[in-house]
């Protein structure tokens, strides 16, 4: 599977400066050849994740507090249209795309684990795996992440 993970500042820069402010992020990459986009979003000190699945023409919003952010879809569709026009000199066809605020997902029970949830959502989506974790797994995931950072490799490699 091919994946493009946008930088953590991408969405904030897109919102504050539009396409011109973010087009450099994909200067060397044809993101439309990727199957999945991972777009982390930081809003009001809370991390969420948007996934764009080109195979299924699906955009999903993952929020471990189950909040909604309706504007995210219009913002991303506008970006996709601008990026497609800029890179391919064609209009992006949005017919057939669906959007979901994911509700049947693992949720956090505290105010500090949203970043870990976003990382795990991204991992599971990139493996096309069913979410099988919950709040109780977060301490273990934190330890795994520390190990991976210190070892500079993933545990399952």
CA–CA gap between residue 34 and residue 68 (Å, rounded): 26
Q: Can you read off the two tokens belonging to residue 15?
A: 């919102």
CB 36 within 8 A of CB 45: no
> Which one of the listed residues 60, 113, 114, 119 is annotated catalytic?
114
β-bridge mates for residue 148, sequence order: none
Cα separation, 59 vs 54, in Å, equals 9
Task: Please state, in angstroms and rounded to a whole number, the distance separating the CA atoms of residues 41 and 72.
Answer: 10
Is 140 an active-site residue?
Answer: no
d(CA 79, CA 137): 35
> Can you tell me whether residue 112 is helix, strand or coil?
coil
What is the SS3 assignment for 104? coil
Which of these is catalytic: 60, 62, 63, 113?
Answer: 63
Q: Is 114 a catalytic residue?
A: yes
Distance CA(1)–CA(152), nearest Å, equals: 22
Q: Catalytic pick from 46, 53, 101, 137?
A: 46
- The residues assigned a catalytic role are 46, 63, 114
């Amino acid at each position: 599977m091919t994946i493009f993970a946008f930088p953590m500042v991408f969405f904030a820069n897109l919102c504050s400066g539009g396409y011109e402010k973010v087009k450099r992020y994909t200067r060397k990459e044809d993101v439309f050849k990727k199957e999945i986009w991972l777009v982390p979003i930081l809003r009001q000190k809370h991390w969420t994740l948007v996934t764009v699945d080109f195979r299924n023409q699906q955009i999903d919003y993952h929020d471990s507090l189950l909040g909604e952010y309706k504007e995210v879809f219009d913002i991303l569709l506008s970006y996709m249209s601008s990026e497609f026009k800029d890179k391919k000199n064609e209009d992006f066809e949005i017919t057939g795309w669906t959007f979901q605020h994911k509700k049947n997902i693992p949720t956090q029970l505290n105010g500090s684990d949203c970043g870990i949830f976003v990382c795990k959502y991204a991992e599971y989506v990139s493996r096309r795996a069913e979410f099988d974790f919950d709040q109780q797994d977060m301490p273990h995931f934190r330890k795994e992440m520390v190990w991976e950072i210190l070892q500079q490799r993933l545990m399952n490699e």
